[in-house]
Amino acid sequence: MLFHGQDDRALRQAAVAGTFYPDSPVLLRQMVEELLENANPPKPKGKILGLACPHAGYQYSGFVAAHGYKLLRGLRYEVVVVMAPSHQEHFVGASIFPGRAYETPLGSMESDRELAHALAHASEFANLSWYGHRSEHSLEVQLPFLQVVLPGVPIVPIVIGEYDEEFCSGFGKALARCLAGHRALLVASTDLYHGYSYDDCIVTDEATLSRVLDWDIAGLCRGLELGQYQACGGGPLVTAMVALRQLGANRAQVVARSNSADVVGERGGWTVGYAAIVFTQEGAGD
């Protein structure tokens, strides 16, 4: 476990408010509430242990993400672990936020620093660090949804850089050990296909999601490394699946799916795939 950067009392201020989502607290809450109100996800069976949600601007992927987050209303958790990929900074492994809180226009989300330190000590693959946290959008865009549906619940923000199967397995198992006995939710932030073919988006996303639904964790990780499947948050997704499996999750369900071409109504340009996936422990109550 290493420590890099600013001290642990620091706040991480919102970096993409006004671009990926509104910077006005009133407009942001209104937008999130409207997205949640209009979402109509199927009710999954069992206890919800995790989500995978997209991280584009709310005008593109917010409605898909809302299908996952709407299912959390009325549920109780002690902590939410949010794992996201790094688009801005290069590093290997997991960077666990060491500061006091993440801020959005809706206020501060306190970090569970005790759990963050425990996880950093439990895994050789993790550091307490500001790497990846300073300007990353993929983690930040998940937070306003959590602030609305699970107000007051602390978070453990984690940004993942380069990864391989050894990292995902090792860090996922360490995460599960640290969360055992806690009523925790894991959120993996990921988009899917990125490219210029709408047809390839449909086919590739179908293949990627089939590996998730089959719980083929090793096959998914190898396929992501080879480019057979696509998920820009592949590290967070695979790591979350490893941890969730250890914690008792036994079912994955896609509750919403779309892509940027369908959202804007134009095919032929740059296309990004989106899905909201719920991971549950079937046979366990809510």
Task: Please state the domain extents for the chain.
Answer: 3-281
* Cβ-Cβ contacts under 8 Å for 78 (sequence gap 6 or more): 153, 154, 182, 183, 184
Instruction: Give the pLDDT of residue 9.
Output: 65
CATH 1.10.510.10 fits 3-281, yes or no: no
**Quick check: pTM over 0.75?**
yes
**What span, in angstroms and rounded, lies between the C-alpha atoms of 95 and 110?**
17
Residue 159: what residue type? V
> Radius of gyration (Cα) for the chain, nearest Å?
17
- Residue 2: what pLDDT? 37
What pLDDT is stored for residue 284 in this prediction?
A: 60
- For the segment 256-284, the average pLDDT, to the nearest whole number, is 94
Q: What percent of the chain has pLDDT over 90?
A: 94
Q: Work out the average pLDDT over 58-84.
A: 98
Q: Looking at residue 149, what is its pLDDT?
A: 98
pLDDT band at 283 (very low <50, low <70, confident <90, very high): confident
Angle, to 10 degrees, between the axis of helix 217-226 and the axis of helix 165-179? Answer: 140
Please say whether the beta carbons of 170 and 127 come within 8 A: no
Give me the mean pLDDT over the 203-217 stretch: 97
pLDDT tens-digit readout, 20-50: 999 999 999 999 999 999 999 999 989 999 9
Q: Is the dihedral of CA 87, 88, 89, 95 positive or negative?
A: negative
